[in-house]
Amino acid sequence: MNAVLSIAWRSAWSRRGTLALVALSVALSTFLLLGVERLRSDVRENFAQSVSGTDLIVGARTGPMQLLLYAVFRVGGATNNVRMDSLQAIAKHRAVAWMVPLSLGDSHRGFPVLATTPAYFEHFRHGDRQPLQLAQGRAFSGDLPGLYEVVLGAEVAERLGYRLGDKIALSHGGGEMPGAEHADKPFTVIGILRRSGTPVDRTLHISLQAMEAVHLDWVAGVPLPGMKISAEQARAADLEPKQVTAALIGLKNRAAVFAVQRAIADYEAEPLMAVLPGVALDELWDVVGNAERALLAMSAMVAVVSLAGLVAVVLAGLNERRRELAVLRAVGAAPRHVLLMLAIEGAMVTLLGVALGAAAVALAIVALAPWLQSAYGITLTLSAPSAEQWGLLGAVLAAGFLASLVPGWRAYRLSLADGLSPPV
Amino acid sequence: MIELVALRYRWPGTAQDCLAIDALHVDAGRTLFLHGPSGGGKSTLLGLLAGVLLPREGTVSLLGTPWGALSGARRDAFRADHVGYIFQQFNLLPYLSVLDNVLLPCRFSSLRRQRASAATGSPQAAAAALLQRVGLSDALWARAASQLSVGQQQRVAAARALIGQPELVIADEPTSALDGALRDSFMALLLQQCRDAGSTLVFVSHDERLAALFDASLSLSQINRAKA
């Protein structure tokens, strides 16, 4: 066994050029397979961590996923707003502990602006019921003197290089129309949140009243011609919002969640809906799950192709090694030693490939994590492979070893047939 | 030593015997020259003597043990223990050093390893002594086998066949790739080493001029009654 192992190693080393290419293709497929699985589980984890402690999300009637996507992930938009008096009526329900209205729509250099109440910082939870924490400064006060105050998510502050006291202007809508800026009403950065790994990091937070104020002289997405209300004049206007985009609701007792959900759905003055964030997330995964599985299946196919390559390369090289096999038999090796040698070779190449692939995944995570975080808000962390990921690695290894038995078996047959006289 | 009785052999898938030898007997320690033209079944006979091939009929025995009585795995082990083999050329594994090539039989046979150690203390020492005797300077021992000349490679092959004193050394035209002077020195060295080790030598060649160097000489075409 030891003899065979060392000979197999030396023999493989002498053909290292070809075998390295095979190992590289195994590495590539491992990288794909593990990378996809890694991204899949981390993205899922990220999404699941984005909201907790909120029992219901209320919005105008739409799809539950759509409501979840814009209220929590700032993806897409609402088709209809919710009247503030409806929300206030719901907040009076005896099971409701708190209600935080959310108003979306504006942006600042690509980052979404969320208008809400100071209660947001108190009630919003992510991950394992962790509250938002301020890294610097304080939350906006929500009163008139502090009207033009903004609290930045960690990513916004870091990417745009903002510090406390900086003045910034918000853009109307997604910022796609040049010149549609609320430049006349600049905001002062008064707080920067600690990084949470959720969409909050990419959000600018202002008060609902501030949102009203910047839109006083706007109608239907354009500034009213000839009408200019200065930042100071705005303070005198009625800034109580009539409508918002959605609201987060916390209950005194979670057991009442379906009763409250029904009460909201049955609310007569306005068509509303309420979703349980966990249920909506599950629905989202059902949709995304198919794409995930397809991606994983593709990666598995790539792995199969690369292992087929391994078989083909070793098989093709076998004819040139018949002399080597005859020499081995002449010095006392049995055909089963030859089979073992080829199997060891296959196992070594696959192991090397899998190790390289896993290392490449780790390297890619380290290299790409900051970019993924800033571009997509997805936090990738370098951690030991999960049980599933070990399973994938093990499957590639096992498949590689099994695949290498094919040329091994061929060599066994050749060795039996050729004996000591291989065709020259 | 070698006992061959009523042997019949044909290659799988052929209808006619290619070897039909009624009897062949070689005593221990003797050197036998087998002469035969190319394609005359020489390699087949050597395969039968080394137990890689089994006869269709009859028996081939080595050291009193018929090859056919052993299982496949036992035959391989028996060959590793008792037979040294030299090919026409390309004897060595190119990716092993000269010394490691000589040591190969000791990796597969504990008997050969023990005998080699008994004589000189360790298999490495035995290999070194043999290489010295076949005239390979120690500067070459660590080299890859592929860097040696053909003549040097055949000497290494001889050293490998002889390590651990196998009872039988089989040589299949080992000089055909060597010319004049090289061939003569190789022959002298091989015969001397076999005699020193007490090994029986079966040497096959189409070059009849070598026959005089051996204890006995046979023509394969005379003892083989199969009509090709």
Residues B84-117: tens digit of each pLDDT: 999 888 888 989 999 999 999 998 888 999 988 8
- What fold is seen in the domain B28-55+70-223? Rossmann fold (3.40.50)
Q: Which comes out higher in pLDDT, residue A72 or A374?
A: A72
Nearest CA distance, A330 vs chain B (angstrom)? 6
pLDDT-based confidence at residue A222 (cuts at 50, 70, 90): low
CB B19 within 8 A of CB B4: no
Contact A332 B77 (CB under 8 A): yes
- With an 8 Å Cβ cutoff, is A10 touching chain B? yes
CA atoms within 13 A on the CB side of A142: 11
- Domain assignment of residue A84, yes or no: yes
Residues of B in contact with A13 (CB under 8 A): 95
**Looking at the partner chain, which of A7, A324, A420 has a beta carbon nearest the beta carbon of B50?**
A420
pLDDT-based confidence at residue B10 (cuts at 50, 70, 90): confident
Residues of A in contact with B85 (CB under 8 A): 330-331, 420
Over residues B30-54, the mean pLDDT reads 85
Query: What is d(CA A81, CA A66) in angstroms, rounded to the nearest whole number?
Result: 13
> Which candidate, A232, A225, A142, places its Cα nearest to that of A186?
A232
Q: Which comes out higher in pLDDT, residue B17 or A246?
A: A246
Regarding whether A99 and A28 lie in a shared domain, the answer is no
Last residue of a domain, one of A236, A254, A283: A283
pLDDT at site B227 = 63
Sole residue written with tokens 């809906």? A273
CA atoms within 13 A on the CB side of B137: 1
Residues of B in contact with A11 (CB under 8 A): 93, 95
- Domain assignment of residue A423, yes or no: no
**Looking at the partner chain, which of A10, A335, A336 has a beta carbon nearest the beta carbon of B95?**
A10
Q: Nearest 5°: phi and psi at B218?
A: -135, 150
Query: What is d(CA A32, CA A299) in angstroms, rounded to the nearest whole number?
Result: 6
Residue A36 has a CB neighbour count (10 Å cut-off) of 20
Q: What is the mean pLDDT of chain A?
A: 84
Over residues A219-236, the mean pLDDT reads 68
Contact A330 B85 (CB under 8 A): yes
Give yes or no for residue A359 having a pLDDT over 90. Answer: yes
pLDDT at site A227 = 66
pLDDT-based confidence at residue B202 (cuts at 50, 70, 90): very high
Regarding whether A336 and A266 lie in a shared domain, the answer is no
Residue of A6, A331, A340, A421 to mutate, testing the B interface (most B Cβ within 10 Å of its Cβ): A331
Residue A211 has a CB neighbour count (10 Å cut-off) of 22
Give the nearest chain A residue to B52 (CA atoms).
Answer: A419
Nearest CA distance, B78 vs chain A (angstrom)? 8
Q: How many domains does chain A have?
A: 2
pLDDT at site A125 = 84
Give yes or no for residue B228 having a pLDDT over 60. Answer: no
Query: What is d(CA A353, CA A356) in angstroms, rounded to the nearest whole number?
Result: 5
Dihedral angle computed from the Cα positions of residues B4, B10, B16 and B21, in that order, rounded to the nearest 10 degrees: -10
| Integer CA distances (angstroms), A89 to A97, A118, A254, A267, in order | 13, 20, 19, 9
Q: Nearest 5°: phi and psi at A26?
A: -65, -40
Tokens standing for A84? 């503030």
Regarding whether A234 and A362 lie in a shared domain, the answer is no
Give yes or no for residue A366 having a pLDDT over 60. Answer: yes
pLDDT at site A81 = 86
Contact B79 A326 (CB under 8 A): no
Tokens standing for B180? 């004049």
DSSP state of A248: E
3-class state of residue A424 by DSSP: coil
ipTM strictly over 0.85? yes
pLDDT-based confidence at residue A187 (cuts at 50, 70, 90): confident
**Cβ pairs A/B, distance under 8 A:** 71
Nearest CA distance, B174 vs chain A (angstrom)? 14
- Domain assignment of residue A374, yes or no: yes
Tokens standing for A250? 């916390």
Nearest CA distance, A14 vs chain B (angstrom)? 6
Contact B108 A335 (CB under 8 A): no
Last residue of a domain, one of A232, A264, A283: A283
- Domain assignment of residue A175, yes or no: yes
Contact B76 A323 (CB under 8 A): no
pLDDT at site B161 = 92
CA atoms within 13 A on the CB side of B147: 10
Contact A327 B92 (CB under 8 A): yes
Residues of A in contact with B91 (CB under 8 A): 327
Alpha helices in A115-198 (DSSP H): 119-123, 154-160
**Looking at the partner chain, which of B52, B94, B108 has a beta carbon nearest the beta carbon of A331?**
B108
Over residues B22-31, the mean pLDDT reads 88
Name A134's bridge partners: A193
Over residues A120-132, the mean pLDDT reads 83
Nearest CA distance, B170 vs chain A (angstrom)? 10
Nearest CA distance, A5 vs chain B (angstrom)? 11
Polymer length in residues for chain B: 228
- Domain assignment of residue A259, yes or no: yes
Q: Which comes out higher in pLDDT, residue A217 or B179?
A: B179
Residues A397-420: tens digit of each pLDDT: 999 889 889 999 988 888 887 777
**Looking at the partner chain, which of A3, A14, A334 has a beta carbon nearest the beta carbon of B107?**
A3
Contact A334 B73 (CB under 8 A): yes
pLDDT-based confidence at residue A374 (cuts at 50, 70, 90): low
Regarding whether A331 and A374 lie in a shared domain, the answer is yes
Regarding whether A383 and A234 lie in a shared domain, the answer is no
Give yes or no for residue A176 having a pLDDT over 60. Answer: yes
- With an 8 Å Cβ cutoff, is A419 touching chain B? yes
For chain A, how long is the longest CA-to-CA vector? Answer: 104
pLDDT at site A88 = 87
What are B's interface residues with A at a Cβ cutoff of 8 A? 43-44, 46-47, 50, 52-53, 72-73, 76-77, 79-81, 85, 87, 90-96, 100, 104-105, 107-109, 112, 160, 172
Give yes or no for residue A354 having a pLDDT over 90. Answer: yes
Last residue of a domain, one of A220, A253, A283: A283
Regarding whether A125 and A32 lie in a shared domain, the answer is no
pLDDT at site A27 = 93
Contact A13 B95 (CB under 8 A): yes
- With an 8 Å Cβ cutoff, is A325 touching chain B? no
CB B166 within 8 A of CB B158: no
| Domain that includes residue A337, residue range | 2-47+288-418
Give yes or no for residue B17 having a pLDDT over 90. Answer: no
Contact A420 B96 (CB under 8 A): no
CA B192-B114-B119 angle, to 5 degrees, is: 45
**Looking at the partner chain, which of A331, A332, A419 has a beta carbon nearest the beta carbon of B47?**
A419
3-state secondary structure chain B: CEEEEEEEECCCCCCCCCEEEEEEEECCCCEEEEECCCCCCHHHHHHHHCCCCCCCEEEEEECCEEHHHCCHHHHHHHHHHHEEEECCCCCCCCCCEHHHHHHHHHHHCHHHHHHHHHHHCCHHHHHHHHHHHCCCCHHHCCCEHHHCCHHHHHHHHHHHHHCCCCCEEEEECCCCCCCHHHHHHHHHHHHHHHHHHCCEEEEEECCHHHHHHCCEEEEHHHHCCCCC
Beta strands in A165-290 (DSSP E): 167-168, 187-193, 204-207, 218-219, 222-223, 243-244, 246-251, 272-275
Over residues A327-354, the mean pLDDT reads 89
Give yes or no for residue A375 having a pLDDT over 70. Answer: no
Regarding whether A306 and A229 lie in a shared domain, the answer is no
pLDDT at site A223 = 64
Give the nearest chain A residue to B78 (CA atoms).
Answer: A332
Query: What is d(CA B8, CA B68) in angstroms, rounded to the nearest whole number?
Result: 13
Nearest CA distance, A407 vs chain B (angstrom)? 20
Regarding whether A129 and A263 lie in a shared domain, the answer is yes
**Would you kindly state where each structural domain of chain B is located, as residue ranges?**
28-55+70-223
Residues of A in contact with B105 (CB under 8 A): 331-332
Tokens standing for A362? 């780790």
Regarding whether A64 and A42 lie in a shared domain, the answer is no
pLDDT-based confidence at residue A202 (cuts at 50, 70, 90): confident
Contact A332 B79 (CB under 8 A): yes
Regarding whether A208 and A59 lie in a shared domain, the answer is yes
Contact B80 A332 (CB under 8 A): yes
Residues of B in contact with A3 (CB under 8 A): 107-108
Give yes or no for residue A36 having a pLDDT over 70. Answer: yes
Residues of B in contact with A323 (CB under 8 A): 90
Residues of A in contact with B52 (CB under 8 A): 329, 419-420
Residues A44-80: tens digit of each pLDDT: 877 777 778 888 899 888 888 888 888 888 887 777 8
Structural Rg of chain B based on CA atoms? 17
Residues of A in contact with B72 (CB under 8 A): 334-335
Regarding whether A59 and A39 lie in a shared domain, the answer is no
CB B78 within 8 A of CB B51: yes
Residues within 8 A of B (CB atoms), A 38-67 only: none
pLDDT-based confidence at residue B169 (cuts at 50, 70, 90): very high
Contact B87 A330 (CB under 8 A): yes
Regarding whether A267 and A294 lie in a shared domain, the answer is no
Residues of A in contact with B116 (CB under 8 A): none
